[in-house]
Amino acid sequence: MAKIIQEHDKCIGCGSCVALCSKHWEMTDDGKAKLINAEKKGDNYELEVDDAGCSKEAAEACPVQCIMVKE
């Protein structure tokens, strides 16, 4: 299992996560990215998955490093 976490407030809406990993990420009306099907925990969004897959690339590409992957 892996956990994907986004510090949603920090997102500046650059869109790299969506470009690299549309399976897990989509842009929303607030101009930020949303982790699809994630649970809101405090200021963060969290999603447990079998394999973080392309979200690892998204985490590396995010310019404000607001995506974390824990495996």
Cβ proximity to ligand F3S, 9 vs 50, nearer residue: 9
Q: In whole angstroms, what separates CA 27 from the centre of its chain? A: 10
Please state, in angstroms and as integers, the Cα–Cα distance from residue 35 to each residue in 6, 40, 49, following that order.
7, 10, 12
Nearest-approach distance from CB 32 to ligand F3S, in angstroms: 6
Nearest-approach distance from CB 20 to ligand F3S, in angstroms: 8
Nearest-approach distance from CB 11 to ligand F3S, in angstroms: 3
Binding site for ligand F3S (CB under 6 A): 11-17, 32-33, 61-64, 66-67
- Phi–psi pair at 45, nearest 5 degrees: -110, 135
